Structure 1
Amino acid sequence: MKLAAFIFLVAMIGACGGEAKPATPSVTAAPSSMIQSTVAPTLDVAATVTAAVTMTIPVNTPPPSIASPRPTATTESTAHPSSPLPTASPRPAVMPEPTAHPSPVEGSLTDVILLKLVEPSTARYIIREQLARLDLPNDAIGQTSDVSGMIRFDASGEILQDSVFTVNVSSLTSDEARRDRYLKSRALESDQYPTVKFAINEVKGLPWPLPTSGAHTFDLIGDLTIKEVTKPVIWRTVVEFASDKIVGNASVTITFEEFDMRKPRFAFIISVAEEFKLELNFSGRILTTTQ
């Protein structure tokens, strides 16, 4: 109030006299601008305070809303650790199944042991006969090296199919050409039946697994086919084993009659025995393969 009275007084003095004007304006102007600046800040302060009050109320209100999302962030971070757990679930399938696979075993190929004939191998017949020019009986021997075949064993030593020895009898020769011609044309009929076959069904007395050294005696049991006649026979066999190589001899005694063969009849031959021997001197290799 004093300030307002002072301002009014100064204004009245300025209206009454001209001499006081020079000093009055400078004195009056300064306080006037100061007053305005003083009043203005007061208004500004009020406005600021009002604004501050206005701003304070909304500013204080959001914190609760800001605080509420934070739990959500925490929940998300807690949710993530549980996701690795599914990765642990494949572990039961961690290849125990391939290891314990029965199917490859059931479908796997079986080992086969082959006893295969190789050169030199020779098949021969030995017939006891009495020649007219000799006082005593002698042995007529005819032979061929045209021999092939094998014995096939499974992993337990049992004989498999296709265990066969084959002899080409059309190539048999002896020391007497007339005998050879007769045996081929009349006894064996080799033009029509060029081969004699022995199908092996069983090996009796042979150690298993096959030995790698020493001499061993055993029986080859099977079916001998000459022309159209097949008979069961047993070949007595002796084999010398040396690592994967073998050398052996097998023999069997048969008759002309049982295989429907004619005995040789010539003027120079007095007699021929009913029985005769078949022999097989062979070399072989032991091989392992699969079927």
Structure 2
Amino acid sequence: MKKSVSILFLLFVLMVGSACAPNAAEVSTPTLESSSPTPLPTMPATPEPTVELTEPQVTETAVSETGNGEQNQTVIYKIVPGESRVTYEVGETFINQNNRFAVAVGVTTEVRGEVYANLSNPPESSIGVIEVDISQFKSDSSRRDGVIRNQWLESARYPIARFEPLRVEGLPQAYSEATPYAFRVIGNLTVKDVTREVAFDITAQLSGDTLTGTATTTLLMSDFGVGPISILGVLNTEDEVKLTFDFVARP
């Protein structure tokens, strides 16, 4: 009896084991998924540093050929406002002060223009148009300045006097550093709406890169319809006026 129970128990264990054993077909060996390595984050490209190039200061020049095929180099000198000035001088008699005589002086530094200097062949040099803001003339009397600006010169309406050179006479044949040279420039001067031919006597010299000089002329105010000035019972001016142009110019 015990033997038969043992056999039955063994059979039971075998049956249960068979039922619980996994089917070989169903058992699968776990596979490792071969995944590609995670790509590293792409770093933004560092832009190459840009370098701003500053153009070197170059002297402005104009080059022309001579009849012999040689090149003449002309340096363009620009008149510097503020460092240059135009001055007028005119005699005036104060009637209300026992006919006291004085010289009225007015100055403006608002002047522009160019000089074309040919250092290898000075006679080929020339001067460009010169413009002066005469509305900025200042003297020792604001009352005088106001009358000139609004009534006589009418520079509030015609602020720019313009000198257009026609020819240059007496330029030297050769140039030497820091040597003063005297010459003459003839051109058309326009004040208000009147144009007259005027000649300036000039002395100029070049030292380093700075051209300096003085130009002078005398003219009649009546030629331009601006004088002589007369304020009844106060003063009378002379008709002749002296103009002086002290200039500084650089390339």
TM bucket normalised to smaller: 0.5 to 0.7
Which of 124, 139, 142 is the aligned partner of 1:158?
A: 124
Q: Look up the equivalent residue of 2:110 and give its one-letter code.
A: D
1:129 counterpart residue number: 92
The secondary structure found in structure 1 opposite 2:163 is: strand
Q: Look up the equivalent residue of 1:221 and give its one-letter code.
A: I
Shift in Å, 1:195: 0.4
Shift in Å, 1:267: 4.9
1:149 counterpart residue number: 113
| Greater fraction helix | 1
In the alignment, is the contact (CA less than 8 A) between 1:116 and 1:149 conserved in 2?
yes
Say if 2:132 is the partner of 1:167.
Answer: yes
1:74 counterpart residue number: none
Q: Deviations over 1:7-63 (max 9, x none)?
A: xxxxxxxxxxxxxxxxxxxxxxxxxxxxxxxxxxxxxxxxxxxxxxxxxxxxxxxxx
Q: Deviations over 1:150-178 (max 9, x none)?
A: 12356754356x71111101111111112
In the alignment, is the contact (CA less than 8 A) between 1:188 and 1:261 conserved in 2?
yes
Q: Please report the RMSD computed on the Cα atoms of aligned residues, expressed in angstroms.
A: 2.7
The secondary structure found in structure 2 opposite 1:231 is: strand
| Greater fraction strand | 2
The secondary structure found in structure 2 opposite 1:142 is: strand
Say if 2:70 is the partner of 1:114.
Answer: no
Matches of 2:206 and 2:72 in 1, distance apart? 24
Matches of 2:117 and 2:178 in 1, distance apart? 19
Mind listing any 5+ residue stretches in structure 1 that lack a counterpart?
A: 1-104
Matches of 2:204 and 2:125 in 1, distance apart? 17
Matches of 2:132 and 2:247 in 1, distance apart? 12
Q: How does 1:99-248 map to 2 (within 5 A)?
A: 111-118=73-80, 119-131=82-94, 132-133=96-97, 136-153=100-117, 156=121, 157-158=123-124, 163-248=128-213
Q: Deviations over 1:162-220 (max 9, x none)?
A: 71111101111111112111111122212221100111222212224544222221112
Matches of 2:234 and 2:84 in 1, distance apart? 30
Shift in Å, 1:120: 0.7
2:41 counterpart residue number: none
1:261 counterpart residue number: 226
Aligned length: 180
Larger Rg: 1
What is the TM-score with the length of structure 2 in the denominator? 0.63
Matches of 1:268 and 1:206 in 2, distance apart? 48
Q: Cα distance 1:268–1:116, how it changes in 2: closer, same or farther (>3 A)?
A: farther
1:38 counterpart residue number: none
The secondary structure found in structure 1 opposite 2:171 is: coil
Mind listing any 5+ residue stretches in structure 2 that lack a counterpart?
A: 1-64, 66-70
Shift in Å, 1:139: 0.7
2:217 counterpart residue number: 252
Matches of 1:174 and 1:165 in 2, distance apart? 22
> How much identity, in percent, do the aligned residues show?
27
Q: Cα distance 1:112–1:235, how it changes in 2: closer, same or farther (>3 A)?
A: same
The secondary structure found in structure 2 opposite 1:198 is: strand
Q: Cα distance 1:204–1:127, how it changes in 2: closer, same or farther (>3 A)?
A: same
